[in-house]
Amino acid sequence: MMLPDFNRQDENRQRVLQDTIARSRQIGHGLIELRSAKDDCNSSAQLIGIIEALHTLKSGVAYLDLPGIELLAHRLEGNVRSLWELKAPFEPECLARLIDIHVILDSLLFGCAQEERVSVAGALASTQPLFAQLESQLGQIAGIRVATFKSVESDRTVLQLALRAELPQV
């Protein structure tokens, strides 16, 4: 009978943890670079990179069996994805909330690497007001986008009706 190689399992776990922390640092750099993005194309590319990195980070966290941290990463990914899907001009307040939430996520991962007892429940509770602010801001952006779209559609309809009225009837 062959016994499991616990040293090998510990090595794999440590490697995945280090890769996950490296991915978290990449996300942090991406968020900071968004501050200086010159145009929407640059912002969009950065957001896509952050979404992909968060998705990979979630896989690492799932492998490490850190459900609270996985939930935080999942929610953060969802909000970054929402921001990207809105294709809205980047809001500094949204960026500030994303960075604040990422700092908490990163500190939880770093605590795991240092084998410190980290209160995931406390960290998750501290993100609740940040997520509430971020999601409210995203909701406002989405509302503005919908209102603008309705206005454009309304203007287009009025223009089409005006053009029809001016065309001679055959």
In CATH, what number is assigned to the domain containing residue 26? 1.20.120.160
Q: Which domain holds residue 113?
A: 9-166
Question: What residue type is assigned to position 132 of the chain?
Answer: A
pLDDT tens for the chain, 170 residues long, are 555 555 667 888 899 999 999 999 999 999 988 877 766 677 888 888 999 999 999 999 999 998 889 999 999 999 998 888 876 556 788 889 999 999 999 999 988 888 777 788 888 899 999 999 999 988 888 776 555 445 545 555 555 555 555 544 54
Q: Is residue 160 part of a domain?
A: yes
Q: Residue 123 and residue 107: Cα distance in Å, rounded? A: 9
Catalogue the long-range contacts made by 103-111 (C-beta closer than 8 Å, 24 or more residues apart). 103/28, 104/72, 104/130, 105/24, 105/69, 105/72, 105/73, 105/76, 106/21, 106/24, 106/25, 106/28, 108/66, 108/68, 108/69, 108/72, 109/17, 109/20, 109/21, 109/24, 109/61, 109/69, 110/21
Q: What is the DSSP letter of 65?
A: T
Q: Is residue 2 part of a domain?
A: no
Residue 44's pLDDT is what? 81
Alpha-carbon dihedral of residues 23, 29, 31, 36, nearest 10 degrees?
Answer: -150
Residue 117's pLDDT is what? 76
Q: Is residue 122 part of a domain?
A: yes
Q: Is residue 149 part of a domain?
A: yes
Q: What pTM value is reported for the model? A: 0.73
Q: Is residue 147 part of a domain?
A: yes
Residue 19's pLDDT is what? 94
The total number of structural domains that make up the chain: 1
Q: Is residue 159 part of a domain?
A: yes
